[in-house]
Amino acid sequence: MKKTAHIISHSHWDREWYLPFEKHRYYFIKLMNNLIDEFEQEGNQFQSFHLDGQTVLLEDYFAVHPENREKVKQLIEEKKLTIGPWYVLQDAFLTSSEANVRNLLIGMNDAKAYGHVSKIGYFPDTFGIYGQAPQLLKQAGIETAAFGRGVKPTGFNNTVSDTPNFESPFSEMIWKSPDGSSVLGILFANWYSNGNEIPVDEEEARVFWNHKLQDAEKYASTNQLLFMNGCDHQPLQKTIPEAIETASALYSDYTFKHSSFDEYTDALKKVLPEKLQVIEGELRNQRTDGWSTLVNTASARIYLKQWNNRCQTLLEKIAEPLAAFGYLANGTYPREYIRFMWKSLLKNHPHDSICGCSVDEVHREMVTRFERVSQMGEVFVQEQAAELALTVDTSKTPDGGIPFVVMNTTGWNKNEVVTKLVDLEKVYFSQMHFEEIPAYLRDKEMPAYKLVDDQGQTVEFQLVSPTVEFGYDLPDDKFRQPFFAKRATLSFYAEEIPSFGYKTYYLVPEGHSLVQQQIKAPVNDLEMENEFVHLLFHEDGTYDVTDKKTGKAFHRLGIYEDTGDVGNEYMFKEAKGYSAITTKGIPAEFTLVERSALRTVLEFKHTLSIPVSADEQLDVERHKLIWHKEREAGRANEMTAISLRTVVTLEKGMKGPAFKLFINNQATDHRLRVLFPTGLQTETHQADSIFEIVTRPNTPEKEWENSSFCHHQQRFVSLSDDKMGVTVATDGLHEYEILQKDGTIAVTVLRSVAELGDWGYFPTPEAQCLGLQTAEWQVLLHQKDVLASKAYVDAYQYKVPLLAIQTSIHEGKLPGTHQFVNWETNGLVWSSMRVAEEQDDVIVRWFNPAGQKEMLKAAIHDDARSYKSSILEEKTTDSKNLYEVEGHEIITLGFHHKR
């Protein structure tokens, strides 16, 4: 049977990588201009070009050539230029579940507006892919995914595979999500450059094709062969029509076709064998020697991951739900501004960007992008919250009282200590000469207060250190209004703040003391305790933590471990010689910072002596481009001291202590981790991933040679036996390893390297992360595992705070306590709440972390109708009140809000 060689012209365009963005863009403009010229030439046989699956490239181009917008649109409509479905080619594991959805939603909407969307789930270079990707693609109407990594192709000789995990005899396979959704998976078994630079010259072409045809046929399950005519930042090969002519003359058994993914997959699907290997779940290169997984990009430049986690949380867990509340209250939704914030953040999500595996200029620019997103998010939240608070009726505030509204933008009820700056009294410059205000406010005696909620219940609180500070209002209809305020820090325990809702509190003058409430004196300064846990610290900063309900304890958690690293931004390679240096047995210096009814804060400091850098061998190896696996470099003999300051906080209501580590990093070429030796002996553990709490083995497959076996996590990692468990929730710490010895969870808090890695020598001194670095996590104890105990609720809420807004006394249509969306279910994970991208329905998303069915009931008010929607916010079922959610299903509901 005649075979078809599909040649797809493309260029894999990392927006920024070994060059900063603007330098790569210079070459991209050239590529686009060449493409347009090529397509415009009369009689030209150049058929089509695949624009790397990401629509952001067009924005990059139009910023320089806005005059070519219509021309490009026409090329897309004519399917000569193929774009989408993504906005950027993101890293799959280092961006949140919602960021992965938004990337698809925004990319598909953009591509649609340009004229045509490529319906291929394109992951050419992605450093591993999450297991729920087939479900996401399926919900978006995409039936095929193409990827370059994750699965090992074994070739024809192994057509009957007895190892179903992550091994396929063919480059075509079925890829299945845990919920059972599946797509056709196409592996670039010979990489996405297997048809790059095809010769026109007959002799050269013969050599090229003899080799390339054989390579493709080794893995192809059909007579439809795929050749990717391009590579990273590949310029246009204009001579493809001539090269095809040469090839056609040489090989009469083959049809050579300048093709597209649409044409290739159509032809492929007609001839696919009945039975293809089924690959289930995550694609993480687990059936390899472990030296090229790129997993340690999870710990390269951790500061970027922390920035990202903060920005994602700000947009998806605070700003969007808050704006949706505003929509339900006032009928307006700043959709365009929200999309702009998302696009700005997504520009930091390409694999070479968020992975921290580019040159220093790239990551410096990323920090300013994160700063901009955070500025936008902050002003947005401040203004939206203030507007919403104006619709809440505070007219019944007791005399002289200060009302404020505590908002819960998450999908779970919250009990949490709220800390808020309150302006006890404000004097505007229009009321008094500004030079006189500070003294007036300082000398003015303030009344004592009590704190009550809108049900009249008295609430315990602390009000400390009033100071006089400058501030200003920016009214909608007037010039700026400067003032001085007498400002104090108010802390109180906010209880039962409804999910997707708020509760109003009043600070009311009363004959009550302003002094902090005292509790019983500390028994011992090295202990801390609340209603859930008790902690006892040892001299070296390790601690025993006891679950007060069950009496079960874990001992000596929290050891710091330092190891030499002679690898690069992609991969960790332990330096030879030295064994790990730890804080075990090294006395720490303790300080009690605060002990009140609401919180205990303890601080301890270590000075750890470690080698100042790698030894001289490393520099030689870097310059000779010695691959990380082969490196022999060790650590230097010269030592330096790094200081580690740990602040532990345990507040009322917290299920476990929260830690913030301040590292003054003065050493290079090393890795610092925090170790939790749980003593639990298990085969597997669980980790938070994209719309999934995934179970992974503690030990690698037999092919694995790398002595390090690290993994990705989104927000937490968990180890448990059938009785008890420990979950470590983190803020942008995405790398962990499970060490079988002592059942230890090791979380990377800092990795210092000095080169990019990959195809040349690119020094990246800033990847050493010198100076002050921080890391934050929370330790949660539970019975059974993280799922059965629902400890994930606390883990997902870590670092998603309540929002407290001081407001004026006014009438309003909303009551003092309110919930915008009521929902009932036993075990779903809330993910998002917003108003749809292209219509006015409120969209709320959850996923089922368990394998069994769950029921979900949800309503925005008594008569609100809801429907099931795809992740693209398209209605898929009729209105219902009760939904059956399949195991591992991602469920999105739309609420049609009648106003």
Rounded Cα gap, residues 746 and 672, in angstroms: 10
Return the CA Rg of the chain: 29
CB atoms within 10 A of CB 29: 14
Whether 570 and 762 have beta carbons less than 8 Å apart is answered as no
Question: Cα separation of 185 and 175, whole Å?
Answer: 6
- Residue 872: HSE in the Cβ half-sphere, 13 Å Cα cutoff: 20
The DSSP secondary-structure symbol of 767 reads G
8 A C-beta contact, residue 332 and residue 326: yes
**Is the bond preceding 587 in cis, omega lying within 30 degrees of 0?**
no
DSSP 503-546: EEEEEEE-SS--SPPP-SPPS-TTEEE-SSEEEEE-TTS-EEEE
Nearer residue to Zn ion within complex by CB, 366 or 786:
366
Backbone angles phi, psi at 540, to 5 degrees: -90, 10
Binding mask 773-802 for Zn ion (x = CB under 5 A): ------------------------------
- Closest separation between CB of residue 150 and Zn ion, Å? 15
Tokens encoding 776: 């934050």
Helices H, strands E: what count in the chain?
Answer: 16, 47
**Closest approach of Cβ 12 to Zn ion, in Å?**
6
Distance CA 543, CA 527 (A): 9
Q: How far is CA 833 from CA 62, 305, 377, 612, 843, in A?
A: 32, 23, 16, 48, 6
Q: Smallest distance from the beta carbon of 349 to Zn ion, in angstroms?
A: 13
Residues 6 or more apart from 132 whose CB is under 8 A from it? 177, 178, 179, 689, 690, 691, 692, 847, 888, 890
Residue 200 has a CB neighbour count (10 Å cut-off) of 16
x/- track of binding to Zn ion for residues 4-23 (CB under 5 A): ----------x---------
**Catalytic pick among 14, 125, 547, 615:** 125
CA 262, 263, 267, 272 torsion-angle sign:
negative
How far apart, in whole angstroms, are the C-alpha atoms of residue 404 and residue 420?
10
Q: Cβ neighbours of residue 346 under 8 Å, at least 6 residues apart?
A: 56, 87, 88, 90, 99, 102, 103, 106
Q: Find the shortest distance in angstroms from Cβ 124 to Zn ion.
A: 7
| Pairing, β 3-9 against β 254-258 | parallel
Cβ closest to Zn ion, residue 125 vs residue 320: 125
State residue 349 phi and psi, 5-degree precision: -100, -5
Q: In 3-state terms, what secondary structure has residue 886?
A: coil
CA distance 303 to 677: 26
Q: Specify the residue, 148 or 153, whose C-beta has the smaller distance to Zn ion.
A: 148
Q: How far is the CB of 127 from Zn ion (least distance, A)?
A: 9
Instruction: List the Cα angle 853/859/862 in 5-degree steps.
Output: 135
Cα-Cα-Cα-Cα dihedral of 866, 871, 875, 881, to 10°?
A: -20
Using the minimum distance from each CB to Zn ion, give the nearer residue, 88 or 528: 88
| Distance set, CA 667 to CA 79, 523, 773 (Å) | 54, 39, 12
The minimum distance between CB 153 and Zn ion, in angstroms, equals: 20
Task: Pick the closer one to Zn ion by CB: 244 or 283.
Answer: 283
In the complex, minimum distance from the CB of residue 354 to Zn ion, in angstroms, rounded to a whole number: 12
Q: Does 603 bind Zn ion (CB under 5 A)?
A: no
Considering only residues 167 to 226 of the shown chain, the ones binding Zn ion according to CB under 5 A are none
CB of 568 to Zn ion, least distance (A): 16
Q: In angstroms, what is the minimal distance from the CB of 352 to Zn ion?
A: 6
Give the CA count within 13 Å in the CB-facing half-sphere of 56.
25
Task: Decide whether 14 or 669 has the Cβ nearer to Zn ion.
Answer: 14
What is the rounded distance in angstroms from the CA atom of residue 278 to the CA atom of residue 172? 10
Site string for Zn ion, 117-146 (x = CB under 5 A): --------x---------------------
Mapping DSSP onto H, E and C, the string for 462-478 reads EEEEEEEEEEEECCCCC
Residue 107 vs 849, nearer CB to Zn ion: 107
Measured from the CB atom, is 127 or 461 closer to Zn ion?
A: 127
Q: Which residues of 258-287 are buried (b: 16+ CB within 10 A; e: fewer)?
A: bbbbbbbbebbeeeeeeebbebbbbbbbbb
Question: Considering CB under 5 A, how many residues would be counted as binding Zn ion?
Answer: 2
Please, what is the minimum distance in Å from the beta carbon of residue 351 to Zn ion? Answer: 5
In the bound state with Zn ion, the residue whose beta carbon lies nearer, of 14 and 615, is 14
- Whether 125 sits among the annotated catalytic residues: the reply is yes
By C-beta, is 149 or 631 nearer to Zn ion? 149
Q: Which residue, judged by CB position, is nearest to Zn ion in the bound state? A: 125
DSSP lists the bridge partners of residue 489 as 421, 464
User: Judged by CB, which is closer to Zn ion: 14, or 453?
Assistant: 14
Which structure tokens are listed for 363?
């990551």
Please identify, using beta-carbon distances, which residue of 87 and 492 lies nearer to Zn ion: 87
Least Å distance, CB 284 to Zn ion, is: 17
Which residue's CB is nearer to Zn ion, number 14 or number 365? 14
User: Which residues make up the interface to Zn ion (CB under 5 A)?
Assistant: 14, 125
Known catalytic residues? 125
